[in-house]
Amino acid sequence: MTAVDQDLVFAGVARQAQLVRDREVSPRELVAFLLERIAQLDPVLNAFRVVLGEQAMAEAARVERRLAAGEVLPLAGVPVAVKDDTDVAGVSSMCGTGIDTGPVSSDSAAVRRLRAAGAVIIGKTHLPEFGAVPMCESPTWGVTRNPWHLDRTTGGSSGGSAAAVAAGMVPGALGTDGGGSVRIPAACCGLVGLKGQRGWISTMQSPERAYRFHGLHHIGTLARSVVDAALLHDAMAGAEPNDEITSASPAPALTDAVSRAPRRLRVAISFKPVVPVPVSEEVRRPVLETAELLRSLGHEVVERDPSYPPAATLAVFALMMNGLAHEIDRLPTPELLERRIRAEGRTARLVPDWLAHRALAMRDRMSERGLRPIADCDVLMTPVLAKPPVPVGHLEGLGPTRAMARVLAFMPFTPPQNYTGQPAMSIPAGVSADGVPEAVHLVGRPHDGSTLVSLAAQLESVRPWAHHRPPAARYPAPAQG
């Protein structure tokens, strides 16, 4: 691959769209180029469940006609990958399982809005079964490999989307986040992972599918830069008439915030996880270094912990388990699920609907109580993970109880924002000595995504990261085991 090719591959969403609008590359040329790269890299990385080559080329041709007719398209011809729990018309949504319920009849609201903005849907990406763990591995689809380090996890559950973006197979991707599932793989793969305020992006699926995760589930974006993540978010933003959960605030134009320097902010830093697990020095250090950078930029940094009551943690567990039970119950052949998920499903059925409804009823009160200690702060900064990306197979052979203990020991910082609904994002903070990306987690005030994105863009401007790329365009065969 030439340097020019590499520059196009890693140009990002905004730049690729501009190249198309300037007629330096056509949508069909761009899609064909990335389809070739997917064919080259995906046999090793295993990011895609299905590649929609023929459909993507046809859609690129339609985008060309729309541009010729004078339409203004913010995502003009940009190829985008979609996580395989989000509906794309004519394609199955298998949610990481081996159960094919057939192609869905229509796009999800988010995918429909991406197409309206000129994006080309190039394929659907892997996740673990129902996104239930923060690693992208399943008995049906195997291991999705991290382009930075093939033997480390991509994170999850949007691991396929993250691997596809990190390797330059697509400039951006749609992910979903029910407890950190956009932010965790972004951290593991050296990307920006943005989850907006609950309700800013509709989670509405096709008529034959409906989520019952009680507002924990958010749709988010994975990209190489803050502006790219914001551009994708803005393209998908908007409510639908029958949304499960709506937002009390309209989605702001986050791309406007990228170019707007933040005022002097008070930033709280915290290393207190929501469950008592060790937090390694490897993930503390990037937070402390970023805190010093923030001080040098004129911001005030204070050490301050949120204080989520135990009832809030139990409420999150109740909502997640009740949602999982409903997802399993809609399947025609649940016996085909992996053994651990079947066991979790039996536990999930012990959480009745009335208990989930009670957890919802107490959400605002518990959220306000948990955030009260940092109410005078503009942004909260924590690690994304409690330890660096773990080796693949981290949960191999474990039953549900031991697996859950390992999951909580890995990702104790990201679930609260799915309960409170706050905007949050993972941003890169460097690469460790052993070649693994580092990251920090930024959380905005409820309904304030603009300050969050503005601060992230400022950090990106003084500590650029989009030029960092995985070590090779071609990858050796992964280690066995």
Q: Pick the catalytic residue from 108, 158, 161, 181.
A: 181
CA-to-CA dists, residue 205 to 129, 208, 219, 360, angstroms: 18, 8, 11, 22
Whether 450 is catalytic: no
- List of residues 6+ apart from 222 with CB closer than 8 A: 158, 161, 162, 165, 172, 173, 174, 175, 182, 185, 186, 191, 192, 193, 229
Q: Pick the catalytic residue from 138, 157, 206, 225.
A: 157
Are 125 and 164 in contact by the 8 Å Cβ rule? The answer is yes
Whether 83 is catalytic: yes
CA distance 449 to 346: 38
Order of strands, edge to edge, in the sheet holding 48-51?
48-51, 120-125, 79-83, 172-177, 218-223, 192-195, 424-431, 437-444, 379-382, 266-269, 300-303
Burial of 91 (0-12, 13-18, 19+ CB in 10 A): buried
For tokens 């689809």, the residue is 141
* Cα atoms found within 13 Å of the Cα of residue 15, Cβ hemisphere only: 13
Closest listed residue to residue 94, CA positions, set 156, 148, 48, 31:
48
Rg (CA), the chain: 21
| Long-range CB contacts (within 8 A, 24+) of 324-329 | 324/130, 324/132, 324/348, 325/349, 325/351, 326/212, 327/95, 327/130, 327/212, 328/130
CA distance 166 to 155: 12
Q: How far is CA 299 from the centre of its chain?
A: 28
Q: Using the 8-state DSSP alphabet, how is residue 175 labeled?
A: E
Whether 181 is catalytic: yes
Strands 79-83 and 149-153 come out as unpaired
As annotated, the active-site residues are 83, 157, 181
